[in-house]
Chains A and B, each alone.
Chain A
Amino acid sequence: MSVIITKNIYKTYPGVVPVHAVNGVSIDITEGEFTAIVGPSGSGKTTLLNIIGGLDKPTSGEVIVNNQDISQLSNNELIDFRLHNIGFVFQAYNLIPVLTAKENVEFVMLLQKRAKEERDNRVAELLDAVGLGDRMNNRPSQMSGGQQQRVAVARALAPKPKFVLADEPTANLDSTSTSNLLDIMAELNRKENITFVFSTHDQRVIDRARRVITLEDGKIVSDVTRE
């Protein structure tokens, strides 16, 4: 079943020389994929992910997420849509500095108005899954970059999204933390069938992906699925 379908999307930034950041991209991502969007800096990875995630609107083309055309949604509807359907992991600034790991993960569930018991169980379960069961009460400043990104993954999963979008989640991490984070993502993907779409230009990360979509100047130049 497809969770993300883009049909011929374009994103053009107007200017003296208009930038075609995304230049006619059509992709179809099905449930359970572990997909990397790769390409050099400026190739349009962030723009594409933002459009898929409902953070940005394409200049033209259709974006269908969970069978819903999100280009039709208002900004407020989009916020709600993101809350219930998409998990995000960014390169940095993922966490609220004044909240502990536990509270950060719980925060999105509170936004969703989940019951206390459900929240407590799920937060504990997720922090265990990312290997931070013993760091529940630490604030971000008391954790390493890798640990913070793992909390971000737990936070992204907390609302039980259809898929997780991660824009260069390992860009600020050393190689141990990078492989650690990838291990956790891969395991969640395998065991819980969670769909991951992440962008990267790090070869070690690319090697871990099952499907690799390569962008160049906003266009797909290759789309390879390995078995």
Chain B
Amino acid sequence: MLTQVAWRNVWRSKVRSLVVITAISLGLIAGIFLMSFSWGMNTQRTRDIIETRTSHIQIHQKHYKDDRKMSLFIPQGMKLLDEVKTEPEVKAATARILANGMISNARGGFGVQINGIIPEEEAKVTKLDTRVVAGEYFEGLKTNPILIGDKLAEKMGWKEIPEPGVKNEDGSPAQPTYQIRKKVVLAFQAPGGKTKYGSFKVVGVYKSINSKFDESNVFVQFEDLNRLTGTENQAHEIAIMLNDQNMAEDSTFLASLAAGNPQLLVENWKDISPDLKLIDETFAITVYIFMGIILLALLFGIVNTMLMAVMERTKELGMLMAIGMNKDKIFSMIMLETIFLSTIGGPIGLLLGYGLVRLFGNIGIDLSSMAEAGAQMGIGTMVYTDLETHYYFQIALMVVVTALIAAIYPAYKALQLKPVEAIRSI
């Protein structure tokens, strides 16, 4: 009976209750959507960074990363690479020789990291070939080809950006054009301190989602850089993609690799990019804080509405106490009423929020108008919303807790009424 009365009481002020229910639903939808958007952005960013930069695993000589001395090669690097490749959990692996140096043309010199890569293997690990926007991916040039980034090409004066509004024949906006097959000179310090110079020819231009990276990384062939350094088959870095990203943290093979080779540093993507790890691990807390703020705002709305409902019904509540409804029952009735009011919006908000997340998880949200800003932060132009299922349950639980908290004060207020005073005003 109490339940029935409480339920019907919710609908006494239909408009007022609907406003509260709508506010709760909208709050949840907005919260869920924003969370899923930010999660989608994070997973995409994480995936992009793994796929283009960190890979799942990297191996270096133990001290290489301390000051990037060129002499700190991975001992027997190519043998290790062959071993790694035979592991079933490894999808692809490649080796790199790295040098910090300068690239120069007539315009001037620019500081870059020179990456000596094995083109076919690199393509399997970082899909570098797919980011070539002009020229070829190490094809068509016999000696010393080099792949430079879009931003660097621009600085070197080899990129032509069309006037805004210029269209191709088919009506699509005109794309930038690049000059390739240009000569550059690379300079770097080889182990032993001697500065080495090499003449290279631009075979192509690549463009990733991170313009900073494009500006400061050039790619040459593994053997070319080795030859220039005066070494043979030496590598600083082995990058590995696994079949399953989750394996990066608990692969027994990698654990044994690290244990068996104390002179090596074996890192997974979270070790390599601590900010990715932080985002991954703090996301849950963000969800709770974020939803907590939304629910706190809603809490005040609910309490306010219920206080109004209690105050309006002073006489009725006084009458109920007069005819013999005890305090427990009055308290329960108002509690139930608040809980009904607060939780009706919950499933609606969760369901609509879920629907929205699924929808934009499929079609994606196009951020290309913000692409320039995104490129600075390393974010792609399409974001696919995503939120793990357990968050929905946790949000539902938070709604229930909010409802319970919101219910206490109005119910307590109702108990403060004295039947004589309430009745007197009749």
Contacts and interface: CB of A to CB of B under 8 A. Distances in A.
Interface stretch (B107-115, B179-187, B283-291, B319-327): B319-327
B5 interface: yes
B12 A84 contact: no
Contact of A84 (B11, B320, B324): B324
Contact of B1 (A88, A97, A110): A110
Contacts of B325: 79, 83, 111
B316 A93 contact: yes
B424 A96 contact: no
Contacts of A112: 324
A137 B320 CA distance: 20
A90 B158 CA distance: 93
B316 A97 contact: yes
B423 interface: yes
Given A93-B316, A98-B9, A107-B1, A76 B322 contact: no
A110 B12 CA distance: 22
A96 B324 contact: no
A99 to B, nearest CB: 7
B154 to A, nearest CB: 72
Contact of B319 (A53, A90, A103): A90
Contacts of A108: 323-324
A64 interface: no
A162 to B, nearest CB: 13
Interface of B, helix, strand, loop or mixed by DSSP:
helix
B326 A80 contact: yes
A107 B12 CA distance: 19
A55 B324 contact: no
A155 B320 CA distance: 12
B106 interface: no
A94 B9 contact: no
A93 B322 contact: no
B426 to A, nearest CB: 5
Interface in B406-426: 419-420, 423-424, 426
A79 B321 contact: yes
B315 interface: yes
Contacts of B326: 76, 79-80, 83, 111
Nearest to A54: B322
B426 A159 contact: no
Contacts of B11: 98
A98 B12 contact: yes
Contacts of B426: 90-93
A86 B160 CA distance: 96
B8 interface: yes
A52 to B, nearest CB: 12
A50 B323 CA distance: 12
Contacts of A53: 322
A58 to B, nearest CB: 12
Interface string B1-40: 1000100110110000000000000000000000000000
A113 to B, nearest CB: 11
28 contacts: A46-B424, A50-B420, A53-B322, A55-B322, A76-B327, A79-B325, A80-B324, A82-B322, A82-B324, A83-B323, A83-B325, A83-B326, A88-B322, A90-B423, A93-B319, A93-B426, A96-B316, A96-B320, A98-B8, A98-B11, A103-B1, A108-B323, A111-B325, A111-B326, A111-B329, A112-B324, A155-B323, A156-B323
